[in-house]
Amino acid sequence: MADISFGIFAIVFMLGCSAVLVRVAWLHWTDSDRAPGLRTYRYSSNPSVIRGHERGIVPLAGWLTALSLAMPLVLSGVEPVVAAGGLLILGSFLLLAAHTTIAWFNWPKALVPPHRRQEAGSVVEWFRERRTQRRTTSKAAVRGDARRKRRRS
């Protein structure tokens, strides 16, 4: 009896978590002011990472929902139903991969909320920031060398 009640509790908990995440994804998709931001939870200190995960919230909600729906199938114990749940779990990892590519590269655009499709991905922003830092440090180094040469002469 304890195993059954734990399984039921786990299923209800997972479905509740996925329902909350689907609501958050809907609010982000519609660009609602009520959409909770990850900045509130101190998820990361890098704003580019936070924006990336907020862009990829839709496939992340789909991933958790697929896992929540697969859990009762796997726990049922009936062999064909367990196999279907296993396939659903394996297929859900495509959504997790989509979340990662959206966070890093902002691709595929169809899964990105419409108001965030023009943004660059986290990796792209990191490379741009690195390039500008490299340019400013190299220009400063060139200026410093020129000043030293003037002082010597």
pLDDT reported for residue 35: 85
| Structure confidence at residue 36 as a pLDDT band (50, 70, 90) | confident
Residue range 139-152: mean pLDDT, rounded: 64
CB-based contacts of 48-53 (< 8 A; 24+ apart in sequence) = 48/122, 48/125, 48/126, 49/103, 49/122, 51/116, 51/119, 51/122, 52/102, 52/103, 52/104, 52/106, 52/121, 52/122, 53/99, 53/103
Q: Please state, for a pLDDT cut of 90, what percent of the chain lies above it.
A: 61
pTM for the model = 0.82
Using the Cα atoms of residue 85, residue 88, residue 92 and residue 93 in order, give the sign of their dihedral.
positive
User: How far is Cα of residue 79 from the mean position of the Cα atoms in its chain?
Assistant: 34
Confidence of residue 142 (pLDDT cuts 50, 70, 90): low
Q: Distance between CA atoms of 98 and 88, rounded to whole angstroms?
A: 16
The structure tokens 């003037």 sit at: 150
pLDDT at 149 over 70: no
pLDDT of 1 reads 58
Average pLDDT estimate for 81-101: 96
> Quick one: pLDDT band at residue 50, thresholds 50, 70, 90?
confident
The predicted structure's pLDDT at residue 138: 74
Q: Tell me, what DSSP letter sits at residue 44?
A: -
